Chain A
Amino acid sequence: STLTVRDALNQALDEEIKRDERVFVLGEEVAQYDGAYKVTKGLWKKYGDKRIIDTPITEMGFAGIAVGAAMAGLRPVCEFMTFNFAMQAIDQIINSAAKTYYMSAGRVNVPIVFRGPNGAAAGVAAQHSQDYSAWYAHCPGLKVLTPYNAEDAKGLLKAAIRDDNPVVFLENEIMYGQPFPVSDEVLSEDFVLPIGKAKIEKSGDHITLVSYSKGVELSLDAANQLEAIGVQAEVINLRTLRPLDFETIRQSLKKTHHLITVETGWPFANVGAEVLAQVMESDCFDELDAPVFRVTGVDVPMPYAQPLEVAALPQARHIVNMAKKSLNIQ
């Protein structure tokens, strides 16, 4: 059977709300409107006002309320209509949620999920098109999850809700409607993925493509194109950015000796930069047969007009080109 990312998220929420009395969802338009992107569709009808709570447009306020509720023992799922709006609330995410466990020497833990679409959508210009992965992955105390497909979405969201720490869960609006084949196991209510483990989406011996979220789709595209010219690319879906599963990258590099990172966000100090730094500093450096390259969004705010927007984002061909450069293929 197939499952869209949206339905996978919805299933995960539904199952976890049913499973644990302490779990509730709050955010803008999550209840009566059925979710701005319909991720919470039907949940209000099913669970009512206590568990599915519409908030006013007041991100810092409701994020703070959610964090306070988590400190007091509930398990909120705090939806941001998009992560662009979470910038209004980032103090509560970092200073209140991420740091309290440490500051309190383990006395107060904060079991909360901040979730919503992240990264560039389509045709919504600069203020609504930004990838915050590197921002949140920067901060100790947070766990940062970035699902790619329906399996990831379901298993990781359930893991996030069951986790006893603040989790930032970065979805991608463009992927919401995309159907993916899933096994019966994924559809079961016991399906939970481990946090901190990457997945090899496609194995190959010649070059490693490390990516997350929408970047995985681009990487798989590129891997198919590379296959046509005889290059077997290994595609790693990070799934979790913090804690980063560097071991999976290390093992892959030992085999391929070539590495490219792929993401749609800005290049400066991004996730790829961190992966590269870790490669440089570790024994992986000796495994490299070529410099490591990053494929990223262009270093500009997102323009509106379609040809410009397309030009601002990485395409599969960028990955193919860099793979050829890495492998010295003309």
Chain B
Amino acid sequence: VSGDVSFTTKGYKLHKLDSGPSSEVTLNKTDAIHYYKQMQVIRRMESAAGNLYKEKKIRGFCHLYSGQEACAVGMHAAMTEGDQVITAYRCHGWTYLLGSTVTEVLAELTGRMSGNVHGKGGSMHMYTPVFYGGNGIVGAQQPLGAGIAFALKYRNQKNVCITLYGDGAANQGQLFEAANMAKLWDLPVLFVCENNGFGMGTAVERSSASTEYYTRGDYVPGIWVDGMDVLAVREATKWAKEYCNAGKGPLVLDMATYRYGGHSMSDPGTSYRTREEIQEVRKSRDPITGFKDRIITAGLATEEELKELDKEVRHIVDDALKVATTDEMLPVEALYTDIYHNTPKQMVRGATIDETIPQPYLNSQELLKAIGRA
């Protein structure tokens, strides 16, 4: 099996646009396998995270991406070198896609040294050279993303900053402030609303006077996309990137998706919706099984190939789990690192004056080197 196969995606809805992305898309075998694997890695990684949390090996907050995989994988597939991403706290999948390993993600969740930021950030704060986190304050990432796009434009880079937020954060004032300036200055920013139906436990109809999020940028054009279809997401993102980089300014992408788990681990996710609703989405709209069926039917992959792939994915996650549950945590000296960049060592006030000390190491890299871990 080789060559491109055509698929038809669900229609897009357009706001203030005369034309939009095509519903006729093509897919080759390599990409089919690649997207399937990426989505499976995220799904498995997140279930592993869920289990770690239940075993009390992850502290604090932990927001899982299960159900939303097609959004990140589809957007990532459309990215080109130099494109940037920023999101809110549901960031594990993006961290993996943008260059971190499964081990680095899971070990960050368990607070270990091999974590993405060696255990200093945790679930909501992971980074890669093109990924600005992982932001814990709902909505704060919206102007930050516009600012990253500002820097792209300032340097005449033909790139975009994908700025993600949920349907909950779609009501933050910061979004409207950022959208106004982004449009005013034609910043190459894609404001992407991952609409999973609920801001914590508040259904979109209960939080938003209009749930047509793709229209809510008013003068910023928008596109509604089936966020459960990796191909529709990829196509829409490609189209949006071209639009932005033609100097036309920002776009809003409204990706209709669904979150299987609760808002975070302490939320069973069943008081504000029914178990039947979740089951129904799993059965009829799941981004992975849906995609799997399509590529098998189209002859881009066989059941056996994908089974092999599933096995491989299981191994990747299992190996990562071993590290994430056995690796050491940073020594306590790390408390005093990474306060200021390119600044001589500071005295850091401890819990008492007697424990006020000069920084033993300026940054985590220096510390890791000293203990033979970098």
Which residues of A does B touch, CB under 8 Å? 24, 50, 55-56, 58, 60-74, 91-92, 95-96, 100-109, 111, 140-141, 143, 163-165, 243, 281-282
Q: Could you list 7 A-B pairs, sorted by A, with CB under 8 Å? A: A50-B154, A58-B180, A64-B143, A101-B341, A103-B117, A103-B120, A106-B365
Interface flag for B360 (CB, 8 Å): no
Q: How far is the CA of A110 from the CA of B121 in the complex (A)?
A: 16
Q: Chain B interface secondary structure, helix, strand, loop or mixed?
A: mixed
B177 and A104 form a contact (CB under 8 A): no
**A73: chain B residues within 8 A (beta carbon):** 151
Among candidates A64, A163, A282, residue contacting B178 with C-beta atoms closer than 8 Å = A64
**A55: chain B residues within 8 A (beta carbon):** 181
Q: How far is the CA of A148 from the CA of B341 in the complex (A)?
A: 26
Name the residue among A63, A72, A105 with the largest chain B CB count within 10 angstroms: A105
Residue of B whose beta carbon sits closest to that of A110: B341
A69 and B151 form a contact (CB under 8 A): yes
A65 and B152 form a contact (CB under 8 A): no
Q: How far is the CA of A324 from the CA of B304 in the complex (A)?
A: 91
Give the Cβ gap from A185 to chain B, nearest Cβ, in Å. Answer: 23
B118 and A105 form a contact (CB under 8 A): yes
Residue of A whose beta carbon sits closest to that of B348: A140
Interface flag for B79 (CB, 8 Å): no
Q: How far is the CA of A103 from the CA of B353 in the complex (A)?
A: 25
Among candidates B137, B144, B152, B338, residue contacting A71 with C-beta atoms closer than 8 Å = B144
Give the Cβ gap from A64 to chain B, nearest Cβ, in Å. Answer: 3
Q: How far is the CA of A109 from the CA of B148 in the complex (A)?
A: 13
Q: How far is the CA of A161 from the CA of B148 in the complex (A)?
A: 19
**B363: chain A residues within 8 A (beta carbon):** 105-106
Which residues of B does A touch, CB under 8 Å? 84, 86, 117-118, 120-121, 125, 127, 132-137, 140, 142-152, 154, 161, 173-174, 177-178, 180-181, 184, 337-343, 346-347, 353, 363-365
A91 and B180 form a contact (CB under 8 A): no
B147 and A71 form a contact (CB under 8 A): yes
A101 and B339 form a contact (CB under 8 A): yes
A105 and B117 form a contact (CB under 8 A): yes
Give the Cβ gap from B322 to chain A, nearest Cβ, in Å. Answer: 22
Top 5 A-B pairs, shortest CB-CB distance:
A68-B147, A64-B143, A61-B177, A72-B151, A68-B144
Q: How far is the CA of A62 from the CA of B187 in the complex (A)?
A: 13
Q: How far is the CA of A180 from the CA of B143 in the complex (A)?
A: 39
Q: How far is the CA of A68 from the CA of B142 in the complex (A)?
A: 9
Among candidates B117, B144, B145, B173, residue contacting A107 with C-beta atoms closer than 8 Å = B117
B341 and A71 form a contact (CB under 8 A): no
Q: How far is the CA of A96 from the CA of B125 in the complex (A)?
A: 11
Known contacts A68-B86, A68-B151: A102-B143 contact under CB 8 Å: no
**A101: chain B residues within 8 A (beta carbon):** 338-341
Known contacts A106-B364, A107-B117, A164-B341: A66-B147 contact under CB 8 Å: yes
Q: How far is the CA of A105 from the CA of B340 in the complex (A)?
A: 11
Known contacts A103-B120, A104-B127: A68-B184 contact under CB 8 Å: no
Residue of A whose beta carbon sits closest to that of B330: A105
A109 and B341 form a contact (CB under 8 A): yes
**A281: chain B residues within 8 A (beta carbon):** 353
**B149: chain A residues within 8 A (beta carbon):** 68
**A143: chain B residues within 8 A (beta carbon):** 340
Q: How far is the CA of A74 from the CA of B147 in the complex (A)?
A: 10
18 additional contacts, CB 8 Å, given A91-B137, A104-B133, A282-B353? A50-B154, A60-B173, A65-B146, A66-B147, A69-B147, A72-B147, A72-B148, A74-B154, A96-B135, A100-B133, A104-B117, A105-B337, A105-B363, A108-B127, A141-B339, A165-B342, A243-B346, A243-B347
B144 and A58 form a contact (CB under 8 A): no
B338 and A92 form a contact (CB under 8 A): no
Residue of B whose beta carbon sits closest to that of A140: B339
Q: How far is the CA of A282 from the CA of B343 in the complex (A)?
A: 25
**A105: chain B residues within 8 A (beta carbon):** 117-118, 120-121, 337-338, 363-364
Among candidates A69, A91, A282, residue contacting B148 with C-beta atoms closer than 8 Å = A69
**A95: chain B residues within 8 A (beta carbon):** 136-137, 140
